Amino acid sequence: MTHALRAWFAIPLWKRVLGALLLGLLLAAVAPEAAPAVAWAGELFVRAIRMLVVPVVLVTVAAGITALGDPRRIGGLGGRAVGLFALTTAAAVSVGMAVAGLVGPGVGAPLGGAVPKVLGEPPSPYDQLLGIVPTNIFEALAKGDMLAVLFVAILLGVGALLAGEAGRPLAELLRSASAVLLKVVGVVMEFTPFGVFALVANAVAAAGAAVFVNVGWLALAVLLGSTAQVLLVHLPLLRFAARVPVGRFYRGTADALLVAFSTASSSATLPAAMRAAERLGVGRPVFSTVLPLGASIGKDGTAMYVGLLSVFTLQALGQPLTPATYALVLLTGALAAFGTAPVPSASLFMLAAVLSAVGVAPEQTSLVVGFVLPFDRLLDMTRTVPSASANLTVATTVARWEGELDEWAMRGSEEGRRVDLPPAAVDPRVAGGDELAEAR
């Protein structure tokens, strides 16, 4: 038994998920009438994800803000970096919504065979504005009022920073709680193969092969959104703000982007990104500050995906997309992306925050999660690339503004300068085992 368990956990999680997906397809094809018998496994898995949404949003957003470490950094190097990350994140949400509007991946999507239902009269902008500030924090947490939860998380993080030395214990507590929650998320994700098996079997048994048509459109939209974010946002920043040769930049960062694609984790990409930044001539004071900060809050890929999935969901439910809805998705999507944990599939936890803000019931959100989750690994790998690209783009731009960019290394020989980082920072395979374990 012990040997079997060791052999099971020795297989990378994504391979186990892929095998479960194939088994779910096989069950749906051979014995579709048996699919409801395993539905409980998928429902339990989705309930476990929903259980973690509120604590993950509250703690990781607050912990991400405290990552600045010193409020004085808000006005200097850290302020410039945070401002650029906010700009690229907001642009990414907009790109995701625009691509979803053009491609229409959610139109007619069979969300587990469920019949879309009317959400009811949406709250007025005035009520939504008032609802951001809760009258009772604990009631907001219990109800999962995500706008209020985000507001409280931001206040906690900013308050811990402004309190200085007195706020340090709270900042440490938030970071510790964030680390613990990420481990809990890791435990829940180990049950992904069983959840995927049940969710796929039921979805295909109910909707047939049509489910893959919408998944294909969603995958295309993710690819287009990731490409558009790099071409329309990162390249202009590199060309006009950082004033660096774009071709040289992406040749120098290719290794880091490949690590991002293969691990689907911003944390696991960090050592390779540091190595690439050093070789491109980004000063150590800049990349040692901006890149770790970006691993916490620089989530262009997640922001794009959350914007895209939000529109996908409303399309699938047949709900009208008004300017007010777009504005609310933009605001909550950008805020939620800032606090997304740098581990695979973390964006699905933040999706609930955004959908709740636009009036989508938790039960309907779970349908979306169940529909997307079996295929999320490949989508996650794709959207991690623009997140890594954004991190390196912001670091390079800030280095230019701070006078910390070595022109010889950026424009000179392909080898650049000698890299004197520790082995863990040079070779991602030697980097923190916990991060790579989470990525797997």
Question: Considering the domain boundaries, does residue 238 fall inside one?
Answer: yes
Could you tell me if residue 396 is inside a domain?
A: yes
Residue 122 lies in a domain: yes
Residue 6 counted as domain residue: no
Look at the block and give the residue holding tokens 């295909």.
Answer: 204
The pLDDT assigned to 76 comes to 65
The parts of the chain modelled with pLDDT lower than 70 are 1, 14, 64, 67-77, 110-129, 146-147, 203, 206-212, 214, 262-263, 267-268, 296, 338-349, 370, 373-374, 377-378, 412-440
CB 106 within 8 A of CB 424: no
> CA–CA separation, 350 vs 341, rounded Å?
9
pLDDT of residue 88: 94
Q: Kindly state whether residue 348 falls inside one of the protein's structural domains.
A: yes
CB 366 within 8 Å of CB 110? no
Give pLDDT, residue 268. Answer: 64
For position 257, what pLDDT does the model report? 87
- What are the pLDDT digits (tens) for 245-299? 999 999 888 878 887 886 677 766 777 788 888 889 988 778 777 887 777 677 8
- 309: Cα within 13 Å, side-chain hemisphere: 37
Domain enclosing residue 258, as ranges: 11-439
Tell me if 156 is assigned to some domain: yes
What is residue 165's predicted lDDT score, i.e. its pLDDT? 84
Q: Provide the pLDDT for residue 231.
A: 96
**Per-residue pLDDT, 228:** 96
Instruction: Say if residues 304 and 229 touch (Cβ distance below 8 Å).
Output: yes
CATH number where 37 lies: 1.10.3860.10
> For residue 248, how many other CB atoms are within 10 A of its CB?
17
- Count the domains in the chain: 1
Measured CA to CA, the distance from residue 277 to residue 410 in angstroms comes to 10
Residue 1 counted as domain residue: no
